[in-house]
């Protein structure tokens, strides 16, 4: 392969659990209302895995749909990268579970955790393998089961999140199309604002959690909100400026779906109308690393993007991390 080859999305797919949890369902479980949730977050419902349903199974389904859309078989894959902060196991990795589930016996596999920025991080990593000619076809999956990590008594966080998976097959595309640029970054000094303990919980983290289970998700919503609005503007502009493009050149921005007020705030700072910022948060809530690929799939299937359109993907998440990408749609 040409060591400077262009790479892009050859196929895309998603899978959401069948179970739907509405705001009215939440009214029966915690001290909240549909009006409060909708006004503050824009979320009406979210998809939830059953207690005995593993997350990697929806990842397998999303992967198969992306492969079908790309017109490729699992045997064509050289590498699988799964972005997740909620793996079914620490080992085997979600990527190995999905590799087995789709029968991609030739593919190497590893997981990547950049929280909600994980899909863009994974695209960036995959691009290096493709551009150097080491690999030709790479499957990137954002797969999350955050509802399994929630404190269902914490009304500030439990109503925000859902489960889901989105997948994309990356590979060579015609010159001038595909992923034009990606930017990734991290602000580790702010990492304490979103935490999900695993093998270690210190006293400070334990004190944040009111229930007996100290290994649940916790977030300082106000601090994350301020970071998110600023970084979405910064990440979008940076990715465009580095390749000489402007917002006027962009057909659609597909951001991480965390909160409708964040999306509105970012749109205002960028000076764009709301119809230029894709949103499906009302249907799924925050599904972390799966948010952007699911959103991209919905936009593609809904006829909102066509071949030759310039898109911006932008996200932020725990770590704290952020990432942005500019894509000239090649399908």
pLDDT per residue, tens digit, the chain (331 aa), is 334 579 999 999 999 999 999 999 999 999 999 999 999 999 999 999 999 999 999 999 999 999 999 999 999 999 999 999 999 999 999 999 999 999 999 999 999 999 999 999 999 999 999 999 999 999 999 999 999 999 998 888 999 999 999 999 999 999 999 999 999 999 999 999 999 999 999 999 999 998 889 999 999 999 999 999 999 999 999 999 999 999 999 999 999 999 999 999 999 999 999 999 999 999 999 999 999 999 999 999 999 999 999 999 999 999 999 999 999 999 9
Would you name the residues annotated as active-site residues? 116, 256, 286
Return d(Cα 253, Cα 311) in angstroms, integer.
Answer: 6
> Identical fold at 7-176 and 179-328?
yes
Secondary structure class of 145 (helix, strand, coil):
strand
137 in Cβ contact with 77 (< 8 Å): yes
Name the CATH superfamily housing domain 179-328.
Answer: Thiolase/Chalcone synthase (3.40.47.10)
Quick one: CA dihedral 124, 125, 126, 130, positive or negative? positive
Domain boundaries, the chain: 7-176, 179-328
Torsional sign, CA 75, 76, 81, 84: negative
CATH superfamily assigned to domain 7-176? Thiolase/Chalcone synthase (3.40.47.10)
Start-to-end CA distance of the chain, whole Å, equals 21
**What's the Cα-to-Cα distance from 90 to each of 67, 78, 261, rounded to whole Å?**
26, 23, 34
The structure's pTM equals 0.95
Residue 200: CB partners within 8 Å, gap ≥ 6? none
Cβ proximity of 164 and 296 under 8 Å: no
């Amino acid at each position: 392969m040409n060591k400077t080859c262009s790479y892009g999305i050859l196929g895309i797919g998603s899978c959401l659990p069948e179970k739907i949890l509405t705001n009215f369902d939440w009214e029966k479980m915690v001290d909240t209302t549909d009006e409060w949730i909708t006004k503050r977050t824009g979320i009406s419902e979210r998809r939830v895995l059953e207690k005995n349903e593993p997350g990697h199974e929806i990842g397998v389904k999303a992967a198969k749909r992306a492969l079908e859309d790309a017109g490729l078989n699992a045997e064509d894959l050289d590498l699988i990268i799964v972005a997740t902060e909620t793996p079914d196991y620490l080992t085997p990795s979600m990527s190995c579970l999905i590799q087995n589930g789709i029968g991609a016996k030739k593919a190497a596999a590893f997981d990547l955790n950049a929280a909600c920025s994980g899909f863009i991080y994974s695209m960036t990593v995959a691009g290096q393998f493709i551009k150097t000619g080491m690999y030709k076809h790479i499957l990137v999956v954002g797969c999350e089961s955050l509802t399994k990590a929630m404190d269902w008594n914490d009304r500030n966080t439990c109503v925000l999140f859902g489960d889901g998976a989105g997948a994309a097959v990356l590979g060579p595309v015609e010159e001038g199309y595909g992923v034009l640029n990606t930017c990734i970054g991290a602000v580790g000094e702010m990492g304490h604002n979103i935490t999900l303990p695993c093998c270690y919980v210190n006293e400070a983290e334990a004190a944040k959690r009111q229930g007996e289970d100290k290994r649940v998700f916790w977030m300082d919503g106000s601090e994350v909100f301020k970071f998110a609005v600023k970084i979405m503007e910064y990440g979008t502009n940076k990715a465009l400026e580095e390749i000489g493009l402007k917002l006027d050149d962009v057909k659609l921005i597909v951001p991480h779906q965390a909160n409708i007020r964040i999306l509105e705030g970012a749109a205002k700072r960028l000076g764009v109308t709301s119809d230029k910022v894709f949103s499906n948060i009302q249907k799924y809530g925050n599904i972390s690393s799966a948010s952007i690929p699911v959103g991209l799939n919905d936009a593609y299937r809904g006829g909102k993007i066509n071949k030759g359109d310039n898109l911006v993907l932008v996200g932020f998440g725990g770590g704290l991390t952020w990432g942005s990408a500019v894509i000239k749609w090649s399908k």
